[in-house]
Amino acid sequence: MAAMQVAESLPGGQARDVPREPPPEQGSRFRCLSARLCALRPDDSSSARTEIHLLFDQLISENYGEVGGVAPEDVSALLVQACRLVPLNQNHLVSKVSQLIHHLLNRLQLLQNALKGIQSLLNGGKMKLTQTEELGALLAVLKKSMFHGLPGLNIELPTVLYPTLLPQYDGRPPVKPQQSESNTSRPTVNKKKKSKVKSRKIQQEEEEEESSGEREAAPITGSGKENLREGSTPCSSSLGVRSLPVEGSSMAGRDRVSTPFRSASWKKVSSSESDYSDAEGGMQSKMRSYQAKVRQGALACFLSTIKSIEKKVLYGYWSAFVPDTAELGSPQSVSLMTLTLKDPSPKTRACALQVLSAILEGSKQFLSVAEDTSDHRRAFTPFSVMIASSIRELHRCLLLALVAESSSQTLTQIIKCLANLVSNSPYNRLKLSLLTKVWNQIKPYIRHKDVNVRVSSLTLLGAIVSTHAPLPEVQLLLQQPCSSGLSNSNSATPHLSAPDWWKKAPSGPFLEEASVSSPKGSSEPCWLIRLCISTVVLPKEESCSSSDAGCAAGSIYEPSPMRLEALQVLAHLAKGYFSMAQVYLMELGEVICKCMGEADPSIQLHGAKLLEELGTGLIQQYKPDSTIAPDQRVPVTVVVMFWTMMLNGPLPRALQNSEHPTLQASTCDALSSILPEAFSSLPSDRQILCITMLLGLNDSKNRLVKAATSRALGVYVLFPCLRQDVIFVADTANAILMSLQDKSLNVRAKAAWSLGNLTDTLIVNMETPDPSFQEEFSGLLLLKMLRSAIEASRDKDKVKSNAVRALGNLLHFLQPSHIEKPRFAEIIEESIQALISTVLNEAAMKVRWNACYAVGNVFKNPALPLGTAPWTSQAYNALTSVVTSCKNFKVRIRSATALSIPSKREQYGSAEQYVQIWNALVTALQKSEDTTDFLEFKYCASLRTQICQALIHLLSLASASDLPCIRETLESNGDMVQSFILQFLKSGAEGDDTGAPHSLHERDQMVRTALEHIGSIQALAGDSAKRAIMDFLEDTLTIYFDSSGSQVALLGLTDR
C-alpha cells in the first residue's frame, strides 16, 4: 500500500486510481498529544504517572500508517521527552515506552516500503521513465531521500530535476550481465546467500554490526549546499579528517589518521542531547538505524533507475549527483560523495559507492570530452573543462574516503569505484599527477588483512596499467624503486611485511634465460610484475583468515581471487607495457606452465590469457611498421625457447581438455599468437603437433572451441613457412568450409575471416616465380570454395564482409585453365553477381567497402572477359552509383579506386560505358563535400585525391571516340576539375593528404603521361576535342609548375 501511495504521487506512477483519504484530523491529534506530553515535567507522583499512562495509551492507539504531515524530528522529540519522563524502575511505563517507540518508528518504514515498491516497479519494467518530467520527479524524490536523517543537513530540492544539455555522443553502454536484485542494496563480495526471512535475533545482530561500524560524522551545514573546504585548504576540517595528504608524498602513509572523523560525534548534533540517558541513547541508535535504511533504500532505488534508462539520458543529470570543484570560498552541492565521506553507516557509504560505480561504468565516451586548461580568464566555463574538474574532484574525494574508511566492505567498494573511474577517465587529455596520487595511495592496501580489499587493490592497479596504455606517467610509476610507497605504516594495513617481501622470486632454470631475453638498456626490475609473480607462485606467508574467500582448505597459495587478479594484471602489463614485461619473458613462461598445470580451470584459463598477450606483444615487435629498434626486440632464438617450453609443458594437455571447452578455446587463441619467424624455427615435431591439434579440434562439437580453432587456422595459413604447403592449405580450406556450415553465427564469422586469409595466401602465392602451387592446387576445391563464399555472402553482415573479400580473391586467383572449363562459367557469373548485389545493397559500410575492394580484385585478373562479358556494365554501374551517392566516404574512395584498376581501354567497354564512368567521377568530384555527417569531412581530401587519380587514369587510356564527350564535360566543369587536379598535384608537397597514393613526382608524371597519350591519338578530321583536352592539361601543368617555381619542367610543354 505504501509503495502504491508514493508511486501515485509521481508522474510515472502506475497506481493513480488507488483511493487514499487519510483522516485530516490525525496529524493535528498527534501534535496535540505530543504538546501535552512535552509540557510535562519529571514527577514521581501517582497522578503524574496516571496522566503519562493515559497519554501513552492515546499515542499508541493512533494509526500511524496513514498519518501525514508528521516530521521525523517531531517523532524524535516526542520519544526523547517520553524517555525523560519515565523512571527506569517503573516497569509498566517502560514497557509502554517500548510499545510507543515500536509504533512510531514503524511510521518510518512507510518510506522504506515505498522506495522498495518503486524499485520493484522499475525492476519489473512497469514504470516507464520516457518523459523528462517523470524521470526528473523521481530523481528529485530519490535525491531528497538519499540524505534522509543525515545529521545537520536540511536539503531543499525542486520537485523536478531537469537535465543539462550534453554534446552529441553515442551513449550505448557495453553489454554486460545485469547485477542481481540481491546485490543492489548489499555491496558485499564473496558472501554466502542468506535467507530472505530472518529471525529477530539475526536482524538484531546485523543492526549491532551496522552500529559497530559507524563512524562519527561531522554536522553538515547549509541548505542543499555542503561546504567541503575552509579557505584554500583542499582537505578542511569540515570533512572531519585531520591533515590527510593525498599528494602521494612520503607522508601519505605516515601521517594518516587511524580513527577518521573525530571532529564531531552523533551526541553533538544538538546541545540538548548532551544529557541523554542510556535508554535515550538506545532509542536514538534505533532511530539512526531506521533513517540509514531509508537512505539505503533510496540508493538501491536509484541503482535500479540507472539500469532502466539509457546512459546518455542519465549523464544529463551528472552534475546533480557527481561532485565538481567549487570556486574558492563557495559551497559545493551535495552529491553521492557527500554520503561517502559523511554518512555514519558503512552500509550506506557502500551503497552510495555502488551507485557511483554504476554511473561511472560505461562513461568513457562521455568523459572523453574532458580537457584540462590553464586559461581561467574565460567568460564561461566550457563543458570539457567542467567535466575535467569533476574528474579531478572525484579523484580527490575518493582518495579522502580511502584513507578515512575503517570498514573493510566499504573500503572494497571505494577501491572498486576508483577502478571504474580510472578505467573511464581520459588521462591523455588531463594534467599529470592524478594517476600518481592513486598509485601511491593504493600500494599499501595490497597487503591489507581483508582479501577482498587486496583483490580490489590489484583490480585498481590493473585499471591503471590498462587505461590509455601506454601512458608516460604510468611508465615512470612502473620504474619506481621497489620500496617506494610500500614501507609506510598505516592503521588500515596492519599486515604489511618487511620492505623486501615482494623480492622473493620463484627459483628455476628460467632465471638465467630471463637475463638473456632482457633487451639492451632495460631499467631496473618492475616491482608490480615481481609482486604479481610472487602472488601467483609463492606460498602464502600466513594462514588463510576467515575473510579470505576463495582460499581452499589446505591450500598453500594465496586465495584464488588474488591469484586470478594478479594474472590479469600481468596480462594488462604484457598488452600495454610489453617493454617492461619482456624482461621477464622466460620467468613468465614458467609461471604460465605452472598455472596451466594446476587443477583449477580458472587459473589455467588466466594463464592461457597471459600467454596470448605475451605472444601478441612479440608479434607486434616484429611487424614491418614496428618502431622498436632491432636491439630492443626479444631475439627470435629466445622466442623459440619460450614457445618450446610452452609446447613441452602442459599446453597440449589443456588444448585437449574437452571437459573445459572455454580453456580449450583460450588455449587455441594463445597458440595462434606464436611469432611466425619463431614457428618456422621450432622443431618439426612441435610444428606438426600444433597443426595436428588444431585440425583435430576443428571437429569439436563445442562452438567456442570450433570458432577459436577456425581463427587459429586462419592465422597459420598466412605463415610464410606454411602458405606454400599445398597439402596444409588444402586441409585448412576443407576444415574452414566445414565450419562455414555451422549453426553458430560466431563460428561462421571466424570461418569466413579465415577463408579471407586463406584466399589472401592464394594471391601471395600467385606473385611468386614458382608456378607449382597454382598448378597443384585442386580446381575442384576452388569450386567448393567459390560456392561456399557465395552462400556466405548471403549470411549476416559478420560473415558477409569476409565472404565477399574471399570471392574477390578467388576470382582474381582463377587461371585461364580454370576459366576455360564450362563448369566454371556459371560459378564465375554467380560470384560476380553476388559481389554486385552486395555493393548496391544497404548493408553495413564495412561489407560494402569489402565488396568494392573485391570487385577491384576481379578487375585485376586479365584472364576474365572484362569489357565484353554481360556483367561488365552491371559492375561499372554499381561502382559509379556508390561513388556518387554513398553516404560513407571511405566506401566512395574504395569504389573510385576500383574504377581506376583496369589497365586497358577495352576493359572499360563501349564508348557509352566509358563516358558514363567519366561523368560519374566528375559528378563525384563536385559532390565530394556534400555530407551531413561531420565525421565524414576528414575523408574529403582522400576522396578527391582518388577521384582525380581515376580521371587522369581514364584520360591516359582514352580513345578517339571518347574525346568529344570528355571535351563537353571540361567545357562545363573545367574550372572545377582543374582546381581539384591542382590540389591533387600539390597535396603531396604540402603533406595535407595522408591518403595520397603517389609521390609528388609520380603525380605530375601521371598528368604528363595522359597528355602524351592524348597527343598520340589519331583524331578524326575536323575534330577539335583533342586540341581542347590537350590545352586543358597543358594549362593545368603550367599553372602547377609556375606555382611551384619550376621552369625546367615546362621545357617539354613550350614546343607544343
**Rounded CA separation 203/206 (Å):** 5
Number of H helices, E strands in the chain: 46, 2
Alpha helices for 72-222 (secondary structure H): 72-85, 91-123, 132-146, 200-212
- Tell me if the bond preceding 964 is cis, omega within 30° of 0: no
Q: Is the pLDDT of residue 228 over 50?
A: no
> Per the structure block, which three cell numbers stand in for 525?
626490475
Give 1027: exposed, middle or buried? Use CB within 10 Å, 0-12, 13-18, 19+.
Answer: middle
Q: What is the pTM of this model?
A: 0.77
What confidence score (pLDDT) does residue 218 get? Answer: 42
For CA atoms 404, 409, 414, 415, the dihedral sign is positive
Question: In which band, very low, low, confident or very high, does the pLDDT at 93 lie, cut at 50, 70 and 90?
Answer: confident
Mean pLDDT of 749-778: 93
What confidence score (pLDDT) does residue 552 get? Answer: 53
Lowest mean pLDDT among 137-141, 345-349, 923-927: 137-141
Q: Is the pLDDT of residue 806 over 80?
A: yes
What confidence score (pLDDT) does residue 138 get? Answer: 87
**Rounded CA separation 322/315 (Å):** 10
What confidence score (pLDDT) does residue 20 get? Answer: 42
Q: Which amino acid is at 1050?
A: L
- Spatial CA neighbour of 924 closest among 954, 884, 889: 884
**Span 184-226, pLDDT tens digits:** 333 333 433 444 434 444 444 444 445 445 554 444 433 333 3
CA distances from 785 to 224, 331, 743, 813, 835 (A): 70, 71, 18, 12, 15
DSSP class of residue 538 equals S
**Span 689-704, pLDDT tens digits:** 999 999 999 999 999 9
What confidence score (pLDDT) does residue 171 get? Answer: 46
Question: In which band, very low, low, confident or very high, does the pLDDT at 771 lie, cut at 50, 70 and 90?
Answer: confident
What confidence score (pLDDT) does residue 115 get? Answer: 79
Q: Is the pLDDT of residue 265 over 80?
A: no
Question: In which band, very low, low, confident or very high, does the pLDDT at 597 lie, cut at 50, 70 and 90?
Answer: very high
- Spatial CA neighbour of 935 closest among 892, 891, 888: 888
CB-CB contact of 513 with 586 (8 Å) = yes
Q: Residue 900: CB partners within 8 Å, gap ≥ 6?
A: 946, 949, 950, 953, 954
Question: In which band, very low, low, confident or very high, does the pLDDT at 85 lie, cut at 50, 70 and 90?
Answer: confident
Question: In which band, very low, low, confident or very high, does the pLDDT at 554 lie, cut at 50, 70 and 90?
Answer: low
**Span 851-904, pLDDT tens digits:** 999 999 999 999 999 999 999 999 999 999 999 998 888 999 999 999 999 999
Mean pLDDT of 421-431: 93
User: Which secondary structure element, helix H or strand E, spans residue 368, and what is its range?
Assistant: none
- Spatial CA neighbour of 93 closest among 38, 64, 55: 55
Helix (H/G/I), strand (E/B), else coil: 429: helix
**Span 292-341, pLDDT tens digits:** 888 999 999 999 999 888 888 899 999 889 988 755 555 667 899 999 99
Q: Cell 583542499 belongs to which residue?
A: 234
What confidence score (pLDDT) does residue 37 get? Answer: 84
**Rounded CA separation 711/735 (Å):** 11
Share of the chain above pLDDT 70, in %: 75
State how far Cα 379 lies from the chain centre: 35
Mean pLDDT of 769-795: 93
Share of the chain above pLDDT 90, in %: 51
Mean pLDDT of 587-592: 96
Q: Between 182 and 1013, name the one with better pLDDT.
A: 1013
Helix (H/G/I), strand (E/B), else coil: 291: helix
Q: Is the pLDDT of residue 258 over 70?
A: no
**Span 328-350, pLDDT tens digits:** 555 667 899 999 999 999 999 99
What confidence score (pLDDT) does residue 811 get? Answer: 96
First to last CA, the chain: 97
CB-CB contact of 449 with 495 (8 Å) = yes
Mean pLDDT rounded to a whole number for the chain:
79
Helix (H/G/I), strand (E/B), else coil: 557: strand
